[in-house]
């Protein structure tokens, strides 16, 4: 409620008019006294709600009048004036035609403008037009082995599941699919180790060229840490190796993006690395999903660590076997020497007896 002086006066006048008109109507209307009540009750009739409307009529017609008087002279002068025509000021087109005509298409209104703007922003964000053509093509070619091994891993895992459910694989038998799966595992992990080492070595090349100034050991450390993290993964189980390499690729991208921001690398290198890292990361995730579906259906292939342990065990076995052969040879020699001594003793005893 707006509590101002005019509104307050208006409300008070309204209530006074209502109360006075209600009293007049109650005096004129028949009443009936109901026992137990102090006030007289109005007679029950279908028109008992009319006094309010009746009370408002004198209030609206008698108390409130127009304050601004009509200037009759001015009105008469206006009526006598003649309207002049101005055809040059009239437009040839309708001002409401475009709003009301729904049959015509308005070329200025593009309903897809917002979506096109979003796609344009995405395209400009991931624009690789500034990347040198050689680096662009070789970089895309470099992710093809990762895509191929990941897609193969996913399909072979699906074929192993299909063979487990139906008794026979879709294109390959379950045994053949498992053998190929174990064959692809070291290829993907080894190729990932090579790529991570290569990404670290790029910083050495930038340091040699002095791009962004000489940074010294800090930039050399990138090229040292990357292979130190990558190559031990070839001894891990496949799942742990892929997860470690995924983290290594992500951290390397963050490092390269920071180097680009600092001016240590070309301005296009950050986005270039993001696109390639995204493809490699998606490939690793695809491989992990495929392997997760056949965890209980395939055995664990002997990785480099197992094969290295087998070599050590073979060396130990051969050493023990050589020692055993030497021991046996020595034992045989001792037995032969004992036999020779016994024969010589018998011969000496026989000669003594003859004498």
Question: What pLDDT, on the 0 to 100 scale, is given for residue 184?
Answer: 92
Looking at residue 53, its pLDDT comes to 47
Under 8 Å between Cβ of 248 and 230? yes
Q: At what angle do helices 269-292 and 238-262 cross, to 10 degrees?
A: 170
Query: Rounded distance, CA 243 to CA 172, Å?
Result: 28
User: Does residue 146 contact residue 282 with C-beta atoms inside 8 Å?
Assistant: no
pLDDT at 54: 46
Q: What is the pLDDT of residue 110?
A: 66
DSSP structural state of residue 302:
-
Indicate the pairing of strand 31-32 with strand 41-42.
antiparallel
Three-state DSSP state, 31 = strand
Among candidates 147, 230, 152, 141, which has minimal Cα distance to 184?
152
Q: Are 244 and 281 in contact (CB under 8 A)?
A: no
Q: What is the pLDDT of residue 165?
A: 85
Nearest to 163 by CA among 175, 151, 155: 175
Q: What is the pLDDT at residue 46?
A: 46
Contacts of 188 (CB under 8 A, 6+ apart): 145, 146, 149, 150, 153, 242, 287
Residues 6+ apart with CB under 8 A from 25: 51, 54, 55
User: What average pLDDT values come out for the chain (355 residues) when binned by 10 residues?
Assistant: 50 56 49 46 46 48 60 85 79 61 55 80 81 92 93 92 82 85 92 95 93 90 94 92 96 94 92 94 94 75 64 80 85 81 73 60
Enumerate residues 6+ apart whose C-beta is below 8 A from 309.
Answer: none
Cα 314 from Cα 128, distance rounded (Å): 53
As a 3-state breakdown, the chain gives helix, strand, coil percent values, each rounded to 5, of 70, 0, 25
> What is the C-alpha separation between 75 and 80, in angstroms, rounded?
9
């Amino acid at each position: 409620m707006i509590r101002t002086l005019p509104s307050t006066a208006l409300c008070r006048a309204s209530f006074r008019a209502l109360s006075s008109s209600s009293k007049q109507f109650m005096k004129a209307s028949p009443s009936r006294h109901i026992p137990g009540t102090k006030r007289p009750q109005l007679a029950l009739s279908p028109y008992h709600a009319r006094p309010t409307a009746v009370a408002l009529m004198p209030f609206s017609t008698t108390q409130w009048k127009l304050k601004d008087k009509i200037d009759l002279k001015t009105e008469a002068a206006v009526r006598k004036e003649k309207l002049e025509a101005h055809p040059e000021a009239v437009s040839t087109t309708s001002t409401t035609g475009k709003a009301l005509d729904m049959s015509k298409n308005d070329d200025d209104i593009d309903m897809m403008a917002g979506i096109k703007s979003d796609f344009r922003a995405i395209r400009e964000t991931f624009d690789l037009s500034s990347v040198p053509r050689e680096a662009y093509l070789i970089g895309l070619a470099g992710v093809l082995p990762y895509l191929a091994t990941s897609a193969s891993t996913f399909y072979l895992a699906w074929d192993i599941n299909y063979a487990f459910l139906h008794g026979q694989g879709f294109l390959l038998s379950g045994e053949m699919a498992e053998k190929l799966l174990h064959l692809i595992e070291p290829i993907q992990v080894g190729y990932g180790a090579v790529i991570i080492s290569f990404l670290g070595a790029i910083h050495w090349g930038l340091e040699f060229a002095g791009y962004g100034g000489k940074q010294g050991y800090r930039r050399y450390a990138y090229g040292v840490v990357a292979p130190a993290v990558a190559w031990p993964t070839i001894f891990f189980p496949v799942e742990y190796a892929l997860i470690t390499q995924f983290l290594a690729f992500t951290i390397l991208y963050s490092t390269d993006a920071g180097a680009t921001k600092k001016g240590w690398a070309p301005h296009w290198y950050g986005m270039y690395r993001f696109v390639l890292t995204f493809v490699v990361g998606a490939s690793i995730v695809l491989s992990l999903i495929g392997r997760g579906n056949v965890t209980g259906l395939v055995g664990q292939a002997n990785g480099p660590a197992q094969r290295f342990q087998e070599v050590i065990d073979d060396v130990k076995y051969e050493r023990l076997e050589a020692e055993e052969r030497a021991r046996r040879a020595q034992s045989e020699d001792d037995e032969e020497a004992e036999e020779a001594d016994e024969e010589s003793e018998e011969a000496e005893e026989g000669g003594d007896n003859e004498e």
